[in-house]
Amino acid sequence: MKLIRTLYFLPLLFLIPAAFAGTQTQVERGQYLATAGDCISCHTGPSGKPFAGGLKMKTPFGYLLTPNITPDVQTGIGSWSEEDFFRAIHDGVNKHDQDLFPAMPFVAGTKVSREDVNAIYAYIQTIPAVSNAVSVNHLDFPFNIRKSMFFWRELFFTPGFYQPDTSKSASWNRGAYLVEGLGHCSDCHSPRDVLGGIKQSKAFTGALIDGWFALNLTSNITTGLGAWSASDIATYLKTGAYPGKTTALGPMAEVVHNSTSHLTDDDLLAMATYLKTLPANSSLYGGNKKIDLHKLEGARLYIDNCSGCHQSSGRGVQGVIPPLAGNPAVIAPNPGNIIKVVLNGVIAQNNYIAMPEFSSKLTDVEIAELVNYARTSWGNAASADVTASMVAKERRTPKN
């Protein structure tokens, strides 16, 4: 997928280009989708081989070099499974269960359907493997520490597939899917705050990127696309020009050349149809994410005390450390078991290593915050109903 250059029911037929529905192989479909996502632009370095990485991505916090995503086993993603690839796009987690830096637009990628991600993976496996080792992380301390992404994710990332709006047309939904998902247009066309997150209330209203201003895509009549017709927008995406008005410049010219000029007319018109409905002061489809200060504190406690073993995504280590994501003991209606485990630890058993106790290290309030975080993260949907008094009661209960 194209990376950010500056950090920071309807029938499902609408997910498929109408001209290609039912006629493409999975690899052909994946090639089209990878083109829609403009993966090649950011994963190709200067004078480098396609998809072999090495493009320098400047950020306010240092820089990153884009990774090699060719199927080379040693230096690319040749050893990645289909599931590994899906998790990177949908969850922002790499093969080693490490959080990806948000220069990779997984905030948009999470909206892409599983079928489409699998198709892109199938296509990537067919491109020539290139041996090109890339040292990705050149961010300044402490931003170079992947665990610091925990807080960023809490603030700015909500995983979940695109959900069609049944009150809108299939074309509008297809356009929304492309603009907000594969195309990740808001990543370049939205201003960002000091942490590199999109200012939701100003999404799509334009932003400075690589010294170029990515234009306002909202319906603002003066500075946006309010005076453009859907046909004008589609033509611009196809040709890079709005005759008599403007031409694509800088990074947008690259997007047109590598991506949008290769899309079907139906898809371009769908994108234009969706863009024409963006209000002048836009916010991302799906709304703003409310910041839960209790969950942020829980995330901090998890990072400090648990993530070293249970991993950032709560998946543990297979056969050695149990997962917290989807663990029945964690998400049980009654949280007594998980409270006991945090307080008293667990002995080694069935090849799983021992877990230390935290009763002497954490307060009742901290354990309550930590347990609530685990019960509501990584897809866990239990209630965050653990209180300090509940922990205190368990602390007073004699161990069995």
Q: pTM (2 decimals)? A: 0.72
CA distance 174 to 13: 9
From residue 192, alpha-carbon distances to 6, 108, 179 in Å are 9, 15, 18
Could you tell me which of 286, 360, 374, 284 has the C-alpha nearest to residue 329? Answer: 374
Domain ranges of the chain: 12-165, 188-275, 293-396
Q: What are the tens digits of pLDDT across the range 299-320?
A: 889 888 998 888 877 888 888 8
For residues 154 and 12, the model is more confident at 154
Binding residues: 39, 42-43, 185, 188-189, 306, 309-310
pLDDT tens profile 373-388? 999 988 888 899 999 9
* Residue 130 Cα distances to 35, 49, 135, 246, angstroms: 19, 7, 15, 38
Q: How confident is the model at residue 213 (pLDDT cuts 50, 70, 90)?
A: confident
Give the closest residue to 210 by CA, choosing from 66, 56, 69, 39.
56
Whole-angstrom distance, CA of residue 217 vs CA of residue 279 = 9
- Residues 372 and 171: their CA atoms lie apart, in Å, by 41
3-state helix, strand, coil in the chain (%, to 5): 40, 10, 50
Residue 192, pLDDT above cutoff 90: no
Show binding-site residues for heme c: 39, 42-43, 185, 188-189, 306, 309-310
349 three-class SS = strand
Span 293-396: which CATH code? 1.10.760.10
The neighbouring-strand residues paired with 93 are 99
Q: Provide the residue type at 236 as one letter.
A: Y
Q: What is the pLDDT of residue 289?
A: 55
